[in-house]
Structure 1
Amino acid sequence: MAQKVVVIYSGGMDSFTVLHKAIQDGCEVYALSFNYGQRHRKELDYAANVCAKRNIHHKIVDISSINQLIGGSSLTSDIDVPEGHYEESSMQSTVVPNRNMILLSMAIGYAVSLDASKVYYGAHSGDHAIYPDCRPEFVLKMNEVSQIANYEPVDIHAPYLNVSKIDILTDGLRMNLDYSETWTCYNGRERACGKCGACQERLEAFEKNGVKDPLPYE
């Protein structure tokens, strides 16, 4: 019998790759997406389409009311999305306070209810400089807590924790994944803007892999 796992699935290219990594690992996948009050629903729509197309168990959970408590990010509040390279200090405005601890806690609870053994999560090294809740020390401590928080221990599995988005895309291309099924841009317009930090990092990953990004850009 296949091992049950929960995959935190935003609909972006990193979590899309993680989703297929879990499938390739032979797991029975339960994808979990969150509406936490982000600027737009495009990623969630992409996530829903991917899961429907592949008959993957999928839940989209509305936790947007938490914005009463954790505002101040350009991803959730009325603050301009910064443009420029992903590593620049201006990108710190995209930090949503404690987001990954909240999402991981709910995913762990879901895993326990399913009798699933792992939660897959798409943190990678490109996020380390900007997002404290994507750093190896955070994942390590959260995993330690997850072992004792319930009667049933759940492992937090971050397969790309110590590699870059470039490497994630390399692995996804090796799996023949179609990245037109993903959305990365922080803006939710018809086409990706190509200017925000998320777009810049995505475009760089495709360039370094010598492949054209299938998404249309403004």
Structure 2
Amino acid sequence: MLLRIRVRLPDRPGSLAKVARTLGAAGADVVQMTVLERDNGRALDDFTVTWPAGAGIDRLCDGLGSIPGVGIVGVWPTAEPQGAFPDAAVIGQLAADPRRGALILADAVPAILSADWAGLAEPGADESGEDAALVYASAGGVPGGRIPVLRPLRPRSFTAPDGTQYATGPISSGTERGLVLLVARTGAPPFHQTEVSRLAQLVGAAETVLSGSGIRLATG
């Protein structure tokens, strides 16, 4: 299985090598590394690793915790997006089947953002947003299920009272009230700003492709 590991570490030569060696010694195989931020001599990095299915992560966490200056932010299961350039692949799928564009986007985003599920939601009729409704959900989500207030309608991340982490990407076209692409994960850190920006870019690219075809983002 695949795991996403988010760590803070010193932003200096050799730090990444120490983390990679430690992951390897614990039995993990690094398949991807992403730098999320650098600031004041510290870095925040995501590692995607293969890990034996059913194996505990204690030795992995113990190994990382033994490296001076390294802090574990989160470890959670993830899925591998299809293709070497998953964002571009999704846009290609939208162009090939624009009538299902919004559904294709919602189904693809969980793997891209290491999330549990994603869905299309109507933000509600009034400014309170309390009547927001989930009109479509990928595997793992439940259409019609309870969702948080989605306003303000802008790309953002937030943590729900139950601890679920959410990211939102408003879609300017679609139903009469508009749509929001809602992404959720549990047992994981909040969505980083780079992930929110990636979500917003995906939505923007999808809207450009689909509006160019003259077909609205549709949920059916």
TM-score, structure 2 length as denominator? 0.28
The structure where helix makes up a greater share of residues is 1
Highest CA radius of gyration, 1 or 2?
Answer: 2
The structure where strand makes up a greater share of residues is 2
TM-score, structure 1 length as denominator? 0.29
